[in-house]
Amino acid sequence: MKIVVVSDTHIPARLSALPGLVYEVCADADLIIHAGDIEEREVINDLLRLAPVKAVKGNMDLLRLPETLTLELQGFKICVAHGSGPYHNVRERLKLKFQQQKPDIIIHGHTHIYHLSKDHNTVFLCPGAVANPTGSRSIVILTLEAGKQPAYEKISF
């Protein structure tokens, strides 16, 4: 299962539209997960033309979206939240928030910095940001197959 993980698109505040590479990578996706700070509903509508979308609300969003999601995909439990609040302890806060769900993977945005690490049995993934003001933009392809280790591919642009 090919899942494209994006976050912090910030349209129209920081970008006028999704970069073409995002469309290219999402074209054959089975699912797109957006970890918040979407800002404009049209972003979700554009992505829905390519694949189903699951999205959470970011601190810059006025959209009616859930604060968190828990997904069961290919035998993996994935929890998603934007991670609003201080940047320095985002993963610790999310670990506490989702401790009852015992997720295999926690996906978040907010920091605009790509991050992949493992804490005990939980992987923390931040895809970076589509609209990173520092210019270092990234998304992630997460490949899940039941019975195999997840694969993570960072796409920088």
- Tens-digit pLDDT string for the chain (157 aa): 999 999 999 999 999 999 999 999 999 999 999 999 999 999 999 999 999 999 999 999 999 999 999 999 999 999 999 999 998 899 999 999 999 999 999 999 999 999 999 999 999 999 999 998 667 999 999 999 999 999 999 999 9
Write out the H or E segment, with its range, that includes residue 21.
Answer: helix 20-26
Domain ranges of the chain: 2-156
The token pair that represents 94 in the structure block: 């999310």
Contact between residue 36 and residue 82 where contact means Cβ atoms under 8 Å apart: yes
Contact between residue 114 and residue 130 where contact means Cβ atoms under 8 Å apart: no
The token pair that represents 123 in the structure block: 């992987």
Q: Which residue(s) pair with 118 in the sheet?
A: 123
Under CATH, what is the fold of the domain 2-156? Purple Acid Phosphatase; chain A, domain 2 (3.60.21)
Task: Give residues with Cβ within 8 angstroms of 90, minimum separation 6.
Answer: 83, 108, 110, 111
Residue with tokens 């829905």: 48
